[in-house]
Amino acid sequence: MSMPSDTVPVIYIPDELRQSDRVQRLVKHFESKFGDKPVFLVRVPGRVNIIGEHIDYVGYPVFPMALKQDIVMAVSVNTSPHIELTNLDADNYSDVTIDATNLEFPQPPQWYHYFQCGYKGVVERYCNGQPPLGLNVAVHGSIPPSSGLSSSSAMVCASAFATIIAFHQKTNLLSIPIDKLEITQLCIKSERYIGTDSGGMDQAIAILAEEGSAKYIEFIPELTAVNVRLPEGVDFYISHCGVSMNKAATAYYNTRVAETRLAAAYIAKKLNISGYRLGDQLWVVQQASAIPLALMGDKLKEIFDPNKHSAIPLALMGDKLKEIFDPNKHSYNKAEIVSVLGIDNDELERTFLSRVSEPIDTFRLYQRALHAYDEAYRVQEFRRVCETSGDVDRLGQLMNESHDSCRDLYECSHPKLDQLVQHALSYGAIGSRLTGAGWGGCIVSLVPADKSPAFEANMSRHSKFNCKSGPSGGALIYKLF
């Protein structure tokens, strides 16, 4: 098992990068806006999640890799209590001056609110009692936004790094190393200021990624990221379906989070699981009932037999779920749920729904739980196959099953995504699935290398953003002087 080095790299910018068109443009933009030179650059990549969708926030491992597409920020400290933000893409992201003493996060979110997330997280954690930290920042991003490739977390992580380094600089503590795991945890929490109750996949891969490897990322019992070598002879392609979806501007994401937590509460009650606390994630009930992931699906019927609890693996959870829930029932309403949980409506609202911005009356508990357990099992399988046979047909099958489950059980797909997946399969992909939160955005496809050129040419007729994605490295800080 290999872990990345412990601290975020802070290095002098290589000449080639300094001379690149993009960095030159960004630095010039910074200088023209602020009349001064930036002191450092921050680079944070986007990511593609190969498999393991919507299970980071229920506590199960995920399998992403970092992209070459990234967010870059040029930064210096200013002496005011203001954060001055400018973006190379001025058509989409207008310049803004933020009062650092009064950070607000109204709906719908604007681009600079993502910057505020990382800034606020760092200031609250490290700069307590200090005068407000003024910053000048110029931003450029190459990650298609709102497309499931995690541009939001790249923004949040980059702003956290910008803030922490600026703070070190201002306080002459530039040499203090930034612990990767610590800053990852901070960024995970910080992005929640935007309103989404997200898991930690995006921030973890953005910071912990190492060039050349995908990562198997676990959250329980603690955050760990293990390199997993992808099989030879295949390429991963990302293709955009043409529809974008800003997660924090809608209630979809938090509704799914709420449904998984309600499902966990329901299962815990039905199984009489001790140690479960209201609001816990789905992994808690599976672990507490000692049901292996592989058995969660098929064995739910047996859940009422206490003698069998200790022998049920995750793969059988599906069967178990059929006994706890009525699989043919479309959804559960609040009255049904509170009567099983033995709580009142107020407690239901407070514990499960306070972060869901739209009224919601019905909950698809069985379908969401089944997706989560099965998807968690597929991630385990995917890693096992990568590390053993490297059987790419099996990997493709797992990706296809994942997409079907996202579409039918988790309902986070979009007709355009489904259509693009079908195109990808018809042009030779062995597996293809939506990536990221969904409801629009991108798919990821597994393609035999010898079919890649034709695949790319064909897919580009259906998708404006369509490219091969190799595993890139994680976040970096470049000193300019």
- Contact set with Mg ion (CB under 5 A): 152
Q: Which residues pair with 478 in a beta bridge?
A: 11, 41
Residue 185 binds: one of ligand NG1, ligand ADP, Mg ion, none (C-beta under 5 to 8 A by kind): none
Which region, judged by CB under 6 A, interacts with ligand ADP, from 52-60, 143-151, 269-277, 296-304?
A: 143-151
* Helix segments in 281-364, DSSP class H: 282-288, 317-324, 334-341, 345-348
Q: How far apart are CA 226 and CA 380, in angstroms?
A: 13
Q: How far apart are the C-alpha atoms of 216 and 373, rounded to whole Å?
A: 17
Q: Minimal distance in Å, beta carbon 199 to ligand NG1?
A: 4
Between CA 397 and CA 404 the distance in angstroms is 11
Torsion from C-alpha of 45, 394, 427, 214, nearest 10 degrees: 10
Asked if residue 251 lies in contact with residue 357, where contact means CB atoms within 8 angstroms, the answer is yes
Q: Does 114 bind ligand ADP (CB under 6 A)?
A: yes
By DSSP bridging, strand 134-141 and strand 82-87 are parallel
For residue 246, the partner it binds in ligand NG1, ligand ADP, Mg ion, none, with Cβ less than 5 to 8 A by kind, is ligand ADP
The distance of closest approach from Cβ of residue 322 to ligand NG1 in the complex, given in angstroms and rounded to an integer, is: 25
| Structure tokens, 131 | 């005068």
Give the separation between CA 155 and CA 1, rounded to whole angstroms.
29
| Contact set with ligand NG1 (CB under 6 A) | 49, 53-54, 56-57, 148, 150, 152-153, 191, 196, 198-199, 201-202, 247, 436-437
User: Is position 478 an interface residue for ligand ADP (rule: CB under 6 A)?
Assistant: no
Report the residue from 246, 357, 419, 452 that binds ligand ADP according to the rule CB under 6 A.
246
Q: Which of 435, 373, 372, 60 is nearest to 218 (CA)?
A: 60
Q: Which stretch binds ligand ADP (CB under 6 A): 31-39, 98-106, 142-150, 378-386?
A: 142-150
Q: Is 289 in the site for ligand ADP (CB under 6 A)?
A: no
Which residue's beta carbon is nearest to the bound ligand NG1? 198
Tokens at 218, concatenated: 């676990």
Among residues 59, 61, 141, 292, the one that binds ligand ADP under rule CB under 6 A: 141
- Choose from ligand NG1, Mg ion, ligand ADP, none: what does 114 bind? Cβ within 5-8 Å by kind: ligand ADP
Partner interacting with residue 445 (select from ligand ADP, ligand NG1, Mg ion, none; CB below 5-8 Å by kind): none
Question: Which does residue 407 touch among ligand ADP, Mg ion, ligand NG1, none (CB within 5 to 8 A, set by kind)?
Answer: none
State yes or no: residue 406 binds ligand ADP (CB under 6 A): no
Taking CB under 6 A as the rule, does residue 254 contact ligand ADP?
no
Q: Which CB sits closer to ligand NG1, 215 or 247?
A: 247
Residue closer to Mg ion, measured from CB, 49 or 185: 49
- For the question of residue 202 being annotated catalytic, the response is yes
Which amino acid is present at 201? M
Q: Is 26 in the site for ligand ADP (CB under 6 A)?
A: no
| Residues 404, 405, 410, 412, CA torsion sign | negative
Amino acid type, 29: H
148 binds ligand ADP (CB under 6 A): yes
- Our finding on whether 69 is near ligand ADP (CB under 6 A) is no
Which of ligand NG1, ligand ADP, Mg ion, none is residue 163 near (CB under 5 to 8 Å by kind)?
none
Alpha helix stretches (DSSP H) within 352-414: 365-387, 392-408
Query: Could you say whether residue 118 binds ligand ADP (CB under 6 A)?
Result: no
Nearest to 306 by CA among 291, 317, 327, 293: 291
Q: In this structure, are residues 271 and 292 in contact, taking their beta carbons and an 8 Å threshold?
A: no
Q: Does 239 bind ligand ADP (CB under 6 A)?
A: no
Applying CB under 6 A, does 440 fall inside the site for ligand ADP? no
Q: Could you tell me which residues come within 8 angstroms of residue 372 by beta carbon, excluding any fewer than 6 positions away?
A: 54, 55, 58, 60, 260, 263, 282
Q: Is the previous residue joined to 9 through a cis bond, with omega within 30 degrees of 0?
A: no
Residue nearer to ligand ADP on the CB measure, 17 or 88 = 88
Q: Return the sign of the alpha-carbon dihedral for residues 330, 335, 341, 347.
A: positive
Pick the catalytic residue: 6, 21, 179, 202? 202
The nearer residue to ligand NG1, 153 or 239, going by C-beta atoms, is 153
d(CA 282, CA 314): 12
Nearest-5° Cα angle at 154, 66 to 42 = 95
Q: List, by residue number, the catalytic residues.
A: 202
Residues contributing to the site for ligand ADP (CB under 6 A): 71, 87, 89, 93, 111, 114, 139, 141, 143, 145-152, 155, 246-247, 436
